[in-house]
Amino acid sequence: MVEAEVINFRHRTRSTQPGQQSWRKHLEMAVLDYCEAQNVGLQDAVDAVSDFLREGPVLGQRLSVSELRHRNKNEMQFLISSMKHRRRTRSADETASCDACIGQVLALANLNDMLEVDENEQRTDLSANCLSLANGMRDAFCLGENIHIEVEAEALSVSRDVARNVLLILNEALTNAMKHAFGEDGGTVRIKLARTSAGEVELVVADDGCAVASSSAGGSGGSLIDALASQIDGRVHRSRTDSGFRLSLNFLV
């Protein structure tokens, strides 16, 4: 069986253009020698080499961090576009699932953008990232004219670790509002980021919707928000008001 694998492998690697045969022969011999010396299965070795070649190399090296991030960004944009197309042709329940997926990918895309800064730079402008996330959500959810997102954010420099958690919490809160808060009449989600008199930072996400489901702290989304808040020693408070649902996050920087 192993001999047949080797014959098939050699046939595949030699079925190439003349200009490719030299380096492919060296690759073939290196793989076969490694398999024999390390007692590794040929298919396992071929798979490992294939994975390496897909991730790099560029001019003899693997893709740089910035190149990998650029590739990830393109893949996330493709996924968002696919979900937006799918949600136009699906039932209400399936549309909600597409919306949730879009929200998650947007959050990851925002984090990807945030990490594109100088690797030596350990702080980022949280207000700019919140605004970027809100704008991305507006576009991705294809919000109609009757649903609005308003952002009031004080300029605030925080560590990238804190920014990551706050953005993920904001993403969950916004996704929840888009899915549950509004009926046919629509409404407004207001985001406020500011320092408090107690020296903390407070993020507020409030809607003027009427759906009771938006006030629930249960479910995976609520649990995720609580877990993310605890990682930055933050406190989450949820409440129903006369005008809708309000979620606040308080944390120190």
Higher pLDDT, 253 or 127: 127
Asked whether residue 60 is assigned to any structural domain, the reply reads no
Last residue of a domain, one of 12, 30, 55: 55
Asked whether residue 177 is assigned to any structural domain, the reply reads yes
- Taking the CA of residue 87 as centre, how many other CA atoms within 13 Å lie in the half-sphere pointing to its CB? 21
pLDDT per residue over 136-182, tens digit each?
777 767 677 888 899 999 999 999 889 989 998 998 898 888 777 78
What does pTM read for this prediction? 0.62
Task: Using pLDDT thresholds of 50, 70 and 90, give the confidence band for residue 238.
Answer: very high
51 shares a domain with 163: no
How many Cβ atoms are within 10 Å of 246's Cβ, its own excluded? Answer: 18
Mean pLDDT of 6-33: 60
Residue whose C-alpha is closest to residue 171's, from 209, 132, 144, 143: 132
* Rounded Cα gap, residues 183 and 208, in angstroms: 11
- Number of domain units in the chain: 2
Mean pLDDT of 79-106: 72
* Rounded Cα gap, residues 234 and 179, in angstroms: 25
181 shares a domain with 152: yes
Most confident of 96-105, 173-182, 241-250: 241-250
For residue 244, give its domain range.
65-251
174 shares a domain with 96: yes
10 shares a domain with 101: no
Q: How far does the chain reach from its first CA to its final CA, in angstroms? A: 62
- What mean pLDDT, rounded, does the chain reach? 76
Mean pLDDT of 184-189: 85
Task: Using pLDDT thresholds of 50, 70 and 90, give the confidence band for residue 196.
Answer: very high
User: What pLDDT, on a 0 to 100 scale, did the predictor assign at position 230?
Assistant: 95
235 shares a domain with 178: yes
196 shares a domain with 158: yes
Asked whether residue 90 is assigned to any structural domain, the reply reads yes
3-state DSSP of the chain: CHHHHHHHHHHHHHCCCHHHHHHHHHHHHHHHHHHHHHCCCHHHHHHHHHHHHHHCCECCECCCHHHHHHHHHHHHHHHHHHHHHHHCCCCHHHHHHHHHHHHHHHHHHHHHHHCCCCCCCCEEEHHHHHHHHHHHHHHHCCCCCCEEEEEEECCCEEEHHHHHHHHHHHHHHHHHHHHHCCCCCCEEEEEEEEECCCCCEEEEEEECCCCHHHHCCCHHHHHHHHHHHHHCCCEEEEEEECCEEEEEEEECC
108 shares a domain with 10: no
158 shares a domain with 78: yes
Non-local CB neighbours of 141 within 8 Å, separated by 6+ positions: 99, 102, 103, 178
Which of left, alpha, beta for 39 (phi over 0: left; psi -120 to 50: alpha)? left
User: What pLDDT, on a 0 to 100 scale, did the predictor assign at position 51?
Assistant: 64
What backbone torsions phi and psi does residue 233 show, to the nearest 5 degrees? 55, 40
Q: Provide the β-strand partners of residue 249.
A: 203, 236
Whether the pLDDT of residue 204 is over 90: the answer is: yes
81 shares a domain with 21: no
Most confident of 9-13, 32-36, 46-50, 211-215: 32-36
Asked whether residue 137 is assigned to any structural domain, the reply reads yes
158 shares a domain with 106: yes
User: What pLDDT, on a 0 to 100 scale, did the predictor assign at position 17?
Assistant: 52
Asked whether residue 152 is assigned to any structural domain, the reply reads yes
Q: Contact 46/24 with Cβ under 8 angstroms?
A: no
What is the domain-level CATH number for residue 95?
3.30.565.10
